[in-house]
Amino acid sequence: MMKKWLSICASSILLAMTVSGCAGGGGTNTNNNGQKQEETGGGGGKQVTLKLMQFKVEITDQVQAMVKDYMAEHPNVKIEAQVTTDYETLLKTRFASGDEPDIFAAKAYTDIEDWSDRLADLSGEPWVDKLAPAAVPGMTINNQKLGFPFAFEGYGFIYNKDLFAKAGITDVPKTLSELKEVNEKLKAAGISSYSEGYKEWWILGQHLFNLPFAYEAKPEETVEKINKGETKVADLAHMNGFFDVLDMTMQYGKGPESVGISYDQQVSDFASGKTAMMQQGVWTINSILKINPDIKMGMFAIPLSDNADETKLPVGVPGYYVVNKNSKHVDEAKKFLDWLHTNGQKYLVESFKLIPAFTDLQTTEELGPLAADLSAYVEKNQTIPWAHTLWPAGSNQEFAKPLQAYVGNQMNREQALKEIQAIWDARKKQ
């Protein structure tokens, strides 16, 4: 199944993981970019500090445990990690101020391309020949492989099986009409459908808004037409379906209050049984089980039409570790990535519960029910790409603003789409 998946998946998007730890050496040598740097070893010597930036907060505890292990093996290397939800802004600020990270996270395609002149070529690293084929295109610029992929991920509506059964729901919805029926049954049973975290730009302006683009027959061609002014965002075939789903999440959820709900609250409300569904992905498994280890849950694709054959799950590579080629410690940064791959089964798969993007790492049953449902969509070739990676750089965060205004009843559909188009037009020129 995994090999089939790797040939199907389209790569992309926003991820990273948090780290802080220690290890290092002494003396100097020259790295692959002609810069002098300190040699490091397992014993004494001058300490090397690696600065790492990322934003995937839901596996913080697991990453910290990994870092402790790295510290034990490399006592002279210190990894200073910074995790933030305002990642893109802070990353640019750090580079502008000269406080550049040695390792940071980048999204596929657009992000990798935008940062490519600052990235070290990783093509010669020992783990490169183990990359899953589907993970390669999003990190390759001018035949140089510039990233270390974390995983394959997917998202949709995660649902509580017990609450669905209580409402008399026996099948997951495959069309917009069926989704409406599910919401009505939950309402009749006195169960709230949603508590969506629309305070977070990425939940609304990236993941949910990705769907009408991903459902296009040829997303790349559609995006190119928008860039050339040959069509508009509002003209996408499934744009009305997107707003219909957005309306449902408000009507059967928290309404305008959704714009003030955080990711943490969204996950907490779902995990504690306050809501029957939430729009999220496989990365939430640890956070959910930490709150409610006994919950029975699954995940289904979000329909944007009444054609069940069109309903598919977005699957892609959420992000890559990249190495700043101007770092004084390029070789040490590469050593960390090599170590992470070598120990990938233990950390990426078993601890972080990620679906590996390397052919020598294996999925396990411990990845849980969300990964199992994702795999079922892959098996049936019912996947769509993370098309937001094709958008103009930085636009995803900006798109959230008019969509949040729509949720808050401050804009109608036409006004929100007009503002989104204006953002697109401005961003594509940058």
pLDDT digits (tens, 9 = 90+) for 263-305: 999 999 999 999 999 999 998 998 999 999 999 999 999 999 9
Measured CA to CA, the distance from residue 117 to residue 96 in angstroms comes to: 15
Longest dimension (CA), the chain: 71
Residue 119 has pLDDT above 70, yes or no: yes
Partnered with residue 154 across adjacent β-strands are: 315
CA gap 104, 327 in Å, rounded: 11
Beta bridge partners of 145: 140
Tokens representing 98 are 């000269």
A 10 A CB-CB count for 346 gives 13
Give SS3 for 319: coil
Contact 276, 192 (CB under 8 A): yes
Task: Report d(CA 422, CA 177) in Å as an integer.
Answer: 32
What does the domain layout of the chain look like in residue ranges?
Answer: 2-152+317-360, 154-315+385-428
Cβ atoms < 10 Å from Cβ of 360: 14
Least confident of 157-161, 290-294, 352-356: 352-356
Band of pLDDT at residue 86, cut at 50, 70 and 90: confident
Q: How far is CA 417 from the centre of its chain?
A: 24
Give the pLDDT of residue 44. 53
Cα angle at 266 between 260 and 271, to 5 degrees? Answer: 160
Q: Which amino acid is at 334?
A: K
**Beta strand pairing call for 140-141 and 144-145:** antiparallel
Residue carrying the six token digits 């910290």:
64
Residue 327, SS3? coil
Among candidates 159, 151, 158, which has minimal Cα distance to 350?
A: 151
Beta-sheet strands, E only, within 282-419: 297-300, 313-316, 320-323, 383-384
Q: Which region among 25-29, 73-77, 173-177 has the lowest average model confidence (pLDDT)? A: 25-29
Give 366's pLDDT tier (boundaries 50, 70, 90). confident
pLDDT (average), residues 228-236: 97
Average pLDDT in the 397-412 region? Answer: 97
Q: CATH says 2-152+317-360 is which class?
A: alpha beta
pTM above 0.85, yes or no: no
Residue 33: band (very low, low, confident or very high) from pLDDT cuts 50, 70, 90 = very low
Q: Looking at the DSSP assignment, which residues form a beta bridge with residue 149? A: 320
Residue 351 is classified by DSSP as I
Which region, left, alpha or beta, applies to residue 141 given φ > 0 means left and ψ of -120 to 50 means alpha?
A: beta
Q: Are 193 and 275 in contact (CB under 8 A)?
A: yes
The residue behind tokens 């790797």 is 6
Q: How far apart are CA 122 and CA 166, in angstroms?
A: 52
Q: Any idea which architecture 154-315+385-428 has in CATH?
A: 3-Layer(aba) Sandwich (3.40)
Same CATH topology for 2-152+317-360 and 154-315+385-428: the answer is yes
Examine the pLDDT at 57 and tell me if it is beyond 80. no
Residue 85 pLDDT grade (very low, low, confident, very high; cuts 50, 70, 90):
confident
pLDDT the model gives residue 385: 87
Residue 5 pLDDT class (50, 70, 90 cuts): very low
